[in-house]
Structure 1
């Protein structure tokens, strides 16, 4: 969960109220998204496959042509905390196929032994509504019921410090009061030695069996038909300092993750790790998984707000340990005011995922934007960082919709038979200049990313002849040559808000075609959005005649 001060997707998030943001997003229930068409154009969707192709696709990847997910890009995309009233609008935005939803233990069993089946049934109804809309739900099994938290003294080591929590000395409805002493392990210096208030919800449970009973009841109910939930996430950002877990990681694995994962898998479900917080070493995560022999309990590794190379690191780490089938997701990503992040980041991640078998395994890699919406008030938490301000789409939603228009469809592959001048490599790095290509049906799309060096908005070609472009002036142009282009094909430049500029081929010969592409955006709104962007993105689109 991101902090109020987070300005980049890689900042370490402090705890905030998930419930508060979800309630503030309730105003988006009446939203009717205008998705699927680039402004001023009729967007040519990926060509419909013929009967033979459709049958082959269905046999190879039934999840892409059934279950209401008609798009590989849509299956790759998720969002957090969609209010029930907005579920029908989710697929209209870039074909988003997933909604991540908290299912707090406290809400279902507010009093020990008194399980509220009506609330679980209401969650089931919400999941059925999502299924009807073509959206799958990722339930988060999380947090401690307020009556269930530890009241005794306990201690653990974490992050080079020793934490000693005293027994509860006082409490109210939501918090325990207890003494906390924190000591550095390297020199014994006392960092904290005072009374503190700890949220009951994020205190480790006193009884592992009580936690497990909650998990089993929820999974039993939601994994059965008609709900058919397949994936379950265990907790969220468990680590001392994330504010979602006031305990040690050994206790987390022993009492929370391992029992829950065993229960989920015994019922035919799949386990998603509980969102490793950004700002923590990935080696610490892999060491903990090694120590507790937990690799075999996972179907998906999950990190939050990490740079894209973290996903490749975890993919290779799992493969080296004999678990190449483990997926890698980021079930919280984004939550920044920078409206150019999605165009810069998502094509790079999508190309990487396609290169590692996304079409064959559509649940292997995913990105979930946090979150669906906030109140339409500049003072509201999350304003301008979510996909919606009230019922109004933010730049994040608008740029994601453009990508959905360009990359939607279930016949999509990477396309590498092109070159740019200056040369731009494919790079899984949101800081880098790069270009990646896609074939979507009969369409070709090349995403171009130009990183500035310094405040002067200068792009330097460090790989060639030191070409320099001012990204805000002097009308620089990029030359793009593509192979396998049918004669008469149409070529256009599309900016990140979907404004299309028709281009003319410089030359066409023997399936090869070259076009000169303006680097600078012409639309004034897009210029304003990208003025301070660290990386400028635009798309070159080739459609058959």
Structure 2
């Protein structure tokens, strides 16, 4: 029951161009007929609610850490979530023993040991439930199609959630399928991961899957969601593809099954999309999270070839944090984005697995710098920033520091900040830190001065910028005003 999760990741045109980067304790299952579409009743630990939000709360990856050394690298990069498959279920025939102890696209990695390592180290685990074994596929031989026997699908889901929601694993989050969709606004007649009648391996000959929504909602999503909630766990939507279009996503979420008389949206706890910029989360938040019924917004796949731009990850997560701080970030798990993939032989992955030993790539190093620079409890910064020509900036408070992420042209640049009069009588300093390498500039390349109520920060951007592949080339850095938090209350 291979997942095909890697099959489409490197196709030309698979992902649309990046835009607007800136802008449970176990219990017996209740009868399914008694489980209503209400939010899962799981209380988060008091200490998690009490502490402030952290940058690391937002950061996850696809895949699992395979060793203690891997865990240490995850910590250094601020990674707090992993995601992967669970199976293979019943891959060969009906009635065979249910196998749910393997993970990865080939189901060749031991799952329990990975989950226990995560549990011991405070890392969250998201299990993706899917797909259909070929013997049960509605499209012959296609495991990304609806199950003929829905009971077989339900048995697989129940076995997974029953086992892994209980001690010693204690998982609370389960994702249903991956990128189920119908005709995509990006041009495909059928989603790569949701095949139906009219499908052809020759994309030019494929026809639209007319019952795509109805079959997914009635045969996959709601049956699985009922089981997940019966174990007091949370339902994560299966990752809406970036080529699907948000208007189409609204239609899917709000689709009411004529057979079940229920909306899929009422059986979703976390809205989930793939490869979208932070700006696209705003309409989802306003429509489904601000006043319910969903609990939060996740992206269970971001990055991939976008990470060839060394600015992508630090800009994405910094902007994500600023956005989340203004959107009632009252639960550390409310907003999460997971990088695809945390290891690999492509030079843009977070790490290279070796041999002889695992090392950071440029993208992984940029996360280490982000974790080191923005490692404190976070708070919004609402004071006005006045940027000089060729400079763009976003800001938040991390611990005792005001941190501005700055994208700028080479040469001497300037940012003026209002509302910090309380700092005039304090000894403060500013650092200019390369967002990719972590190197701090020489002290004489950063200067603080006052112009009435404005704090002026003058800084020198190197001629050799760290975003040479960008158009035009820009330098990404953190401008950190130390011990400034007392002025932003």
Q: Same fold (TM over 0.5)?
A: yes
Distance 1:511 1:441, change over 3 A: farther
Deviation at 1:509, TM superposition (A): 8.0
Partner residue, 1:78: 60
Contact 1:480 1:514 in 2 (8 A): yes
Contact 1:344 1:449 in 2 (8 A): no
Distance 1:100 1:118, change over 3 A: closer
Distance 1:131 1:319, change over 3 A: closer
Contact 2:281 2:297 in 1 (8 A): yes
Partner residue, 1:314: 284
Which of the numbers 371, 386, 400 marks the counterpart of 1:442? 400
Deviation at 1:148, TM superposition (A): 1.8
Runs of 5+ unmatched residues, structure 1: 13-57, 152-167, 169-175, 177-199, 376-382, 425-432, 451-470
Contact 1:10 1:306 in 2 (8 A): no
Whole-angstrom distance in 1 between the partners of 2:13 and 2:433: 27
Deviation at 1:307, TM superposition (A): 2.1
1:84 aligns to what SS in structure 2? coil
Contact 2:100 2:160 in 1 (8 A): no
Deviation at 1:510, TM superposition (A): 8.8
Deviation at 1:399, TM superposition (A): 0.9
TM-score (norm 2): 0.75
Partner residue, 2:85: 102
Q: List per-residue Cα deviations over 1:429-479 (Å, max 9, x = no partner).
A: xxxx742211122111011235xxxxxxxxxxxxxxxxxxxx35xx24123
Which of the numbers 141, 145, 149 marks the counterpart of 1:207? 149
Partner residue, 2:21: none
What is the root-mean-square deviation of aligned Cα atoms in Å?
2.9
Matched, 1:413 2:379: yes
Partner residue, 2:166: 224
Whole-angstrom distance in 2 between the partners of 1:75 and 1:341: 18
Distance 1:341 1:481, change over 3 A: same
Partner residue, 2:348: 385
Deviation at 1:83, TM superposition (A): 4.6
Partner residue, 1:340: 311
Query: Which stretch of the first structure deviates more once superposed, 481-490 or 123-132?
Result: 481-490
Distance 1:259 1:310, change over 3 A: same
Distance 1:504 1:393, change over 3 A: closer
Query: Which stretch of the first structure deviates more once superposed, 435-444 or 107-116?
Result: 107-116
Deviation at 1:481, TM superposition (A): 2.8
Partner residue, 2:468: 530
Partner residue, 1:477: 413
Whole-angstrom distance in 1 between the partners of 2:102 and 2:448: 62
Contact 1:74 1:95 in 2 (8 A): yes
Contact 1:77 1:368 in 2 (8 A): yes
1:73-222 correspondence runs (5 A): 73-85=55-67, 87-104=70-87, 106=88, 109-117=91-99, 119=101, 122-150=110-138, 168=140, 176=141, 200-222=142-164
Residues paired across the two proteins, number: 405
Whole-angstrom distance in 2 between the partners of 1:134 and 1:146: 36
Runs of 5+ unmatched residues, structure 2: 19-43, 104-109, 183-189, 197-211, 257-262, 485-489
TM-score (norm 1): 0.68
